[in-house]
A = this chain, B = another copy of it.
Amino acid sequence: MNLPPLVQSFVLHFGEMGSRWGINRTVGQIYALLYVSPEPLNADQIVDSLGISRSNVSMSLRELQAWNLVLLKHLPDDRRDFFTTPDDVWQILRTLAEERKKREVDPTLSVLREILMQQPASDAERHAQERMAEMHGLIERLTTWYDDVKKLETDRLATLLTLGAKVTRLLEAKDKIVSLGRSKRNPDRA
C-alpha cells in the first residue's frame, strides 16, 4: 500500500469496518480511497494505491456499482473507466439507506407478509403469528416514515435532524392550537 499516512489510516479503517458493514475489506478500502481522492481514479491506480490484484479491483468495483455507491467517469481521449463517489455526503447517505433497506429490510417484510397470510394450525402457530404481526407492524411504521422522509430536500432533512426530539414539544403546542381552533368552531367534539 502506497498512500499518504492520513489517507492510509482512513482506508485501513474502512477495510476493517467492511466486515461489520456487510461488505468486504477490499470493497471498503476502495470506497474509502475513492471518497477522499480529489480526482476520479482508474482501476490501475487503485491497484497501485492498495497493492491488490487487478481482478480483485475489478470485482470490487462491480460490487460498489451494484450498491450504486460509485460514479463512472470518462476523460476525453482515454477509454479507461474512472471512478468517484458523489461529492454530496447527504446523497451518499440516501443511497446507503436505500440499498440497505432493499437488502436487509424488504426481504423480511415480504416473508412476514407471506407467513401472516397463512392459517395457523395450532396454538403455537397462532402465538407465533401474533409476534410476527407485531414485528411486521413496527417495520412497516419505520419504512413508511423512511419513505416519507427520504423525499425531503437536504436542508429540510437537516432541519428535522437538528430539531430532533424538540419536535414533540412543538407537537404539544400544535395540539393545543388545533383543539382550541376546533373547540371554537365545533364546541361539541372536545
Contacts and interface: CB of A to CB of B under 8 A. Distances in A.
Size band of the interface chain A makes with B = 35 or more
What copy number does this chain have within its complex? 2
A84 to B, nearest CB: 11
Interface in A96-155: 103-104, 107-108, 111-112, 114-115, 118, 120-125, 127-129, 131-132, 134-135, 137-138, 141-142, 144-145, 148-149, 151-152
Contact of A165 (B108, B132, B152, B162): B152
Given A6-B120, A162-B141, A13 B149 contact: no
A89 interface: yes
A89 B170 CA distance: 27
A35 B168 contact: no
A21 B115 CA distance: 21
Contact of A164 (B89, B118, B149): B149
A176 interface: no
A187 interface: no
A172 to B, nearest CB: 10
A22 interface: yes
A17 interface: yes
Contacts of A118: 6
Contact of A121 (B5, B104, B148): B5
A52 interface: no
Contact of A7 (B17, B36, B128): B128
A29 to B, nearest CB: 14
Contacts of A114: 9
A132 to B, nearest CB: 6
A145 B22 CA distance: 24
A145 B132 contact: no
